[in-house]
Amino acid sequence: MARYWGKVLTAMVTPFDAEGRLNLDMACRLARHLSENGSDGLVLAATTGEAPTLRDDERFELIRAVSEAVTIPVLAGTGSNDTRHALELTARAADAGADGVFLISPYYNRPPQAGIEAHFRALAAATRLPVMLYDVPCRTGRRIAHDVLLRLFREVDNIVAFKDATGDPAAAARLIAEAGEHFELYSGDDALTLPLLAVGAVGVVGTSTHWTGQAFGAMIAAYQQGDVLRARAINAALQPSFAFANTEDSVFSMSVKAMLRSQGLPVGECRLPLPPAPAGVQENAAQVWQDLQARLARLD
């Protein structure tokens, strides 16, 4: 269905120049490139966008510039583990041109479920924009409880979507069965998109979608049209891209930037604590891209 933002959303990396400064011109160029190559919407200043290393002024310069550069929806990452700070960020999102806000569960503090619920209710009340919640326990240290999610989706009108990076399709199926009419679920793990489509997900908020957006769109369309075999074949072709995007030595932002540089998009390196991509990643990116094109061509 994807009522608000589409089916293929890309959690966009944040481009920096050679001195590590925010590169707004490149951000706008990248956003337009993504919109022309399969992304229905963009998520800015989230984890893949290196949000922890962005100053507040940089965050809103980025959101404003990209929102003006593209016609597809832009979601602003305004989450924090400090509710007061997140309230300030969330309240500013609409004025910066965002079409929605993207809220990660509080990280590091490991609050009890009552604190998580109160945090999200306060942030949703701070904006008129539609809200997507994000649960990624491996980063936050605390999973959002099923009952908390049910109450939020049923009782808070502008909480309309959920990025599920829990790695638990069975829990996603239960959530959709019990509250599906109140929200839309997006896969938060590229490799689990097809399994989550099977239980009712509407799309993906991806990282490899920086270069696989059109393939993801085709896979989602095939599945929703009942062509499960084609969807499986596309998913199989995407496996090397999933493996490339995140390794022990090169995590998502690092790998994505290496892939983009290999495609002639100078997005720079990451800011510490993410170091430059290790030797060989850049070369491997080019090979992954070539192999993907060959695999997809064989499906036509």
Q: Under a CB-based contact definition with an 8 Å cutoff, are residues 241 and 288 in contact?
A: yes
Q: Residue 300 — very low, low, confident or very high, per pLDDT cuts 50/70/90? A: confident
Rounded CA separation 168/181 (Å): 20
Tell me: pLDDT of 1 over 80. no
Q: What is the mean pLDDT of residues 92-98?
A: 97
Which of 134, 186, 223, 257 is an active site residue?
134
When pLDDT is averaged across residues 124-147 and rounded to a whole number, the result is 96
Q: Which CATH architecture has domain 8-227?
A: Alpha-Beta Barrel (3.20)
Question: Does the pLDDT of residue 89 top 70, yes or no?
Answer: yes
User: Which residues contribute to the annotated binding site?
Assistant: 48, 205
- Identify the band that residue 210 occupies on the pLDDT scale cut at 50, 70 and 90: very high
On whether the CB atoms of residues 171 and 182 are closer than 8 A, the answer is no
In this prediction, residue 136 carries a pLDDT of: 96
> 4 pLDDT band (50/70/90 cuts)?
confident
pTM summary value: 0.96
Question: For the chain, how big is the Rg over CA atoms in Å?
Answer: 18
Question: Rounded CA gap, 253 and 238, in Å?
Answer: 18
The pLDDT score that the predictor gives to residue 3 is 80
Tell me the mean pLDDT in the region 2-23: 94
Mean pLDDT of the chain: 96
Indicate if 223 belongs to the active site. Answer: no
Closest CA to 105 of 74, 65, 145, 62: 145
Please indicate whether residue 134 is annotated as part of the active site: yes
The ranges assigned to domains in the chain are: 8-227
Q: Which of 4, 163, 186, 223 is catalytic?
A: 163
Left (φ > 0), alpha (ψ -120 to 50) or beta: where does 260 sit?
Answer: alpha
Which pLDDT value is given to residue 2?
A: 65
Return binding residues for pyruvate. 48, 205
Q: What percent of the chain has pLDDT over 90?
A: 97
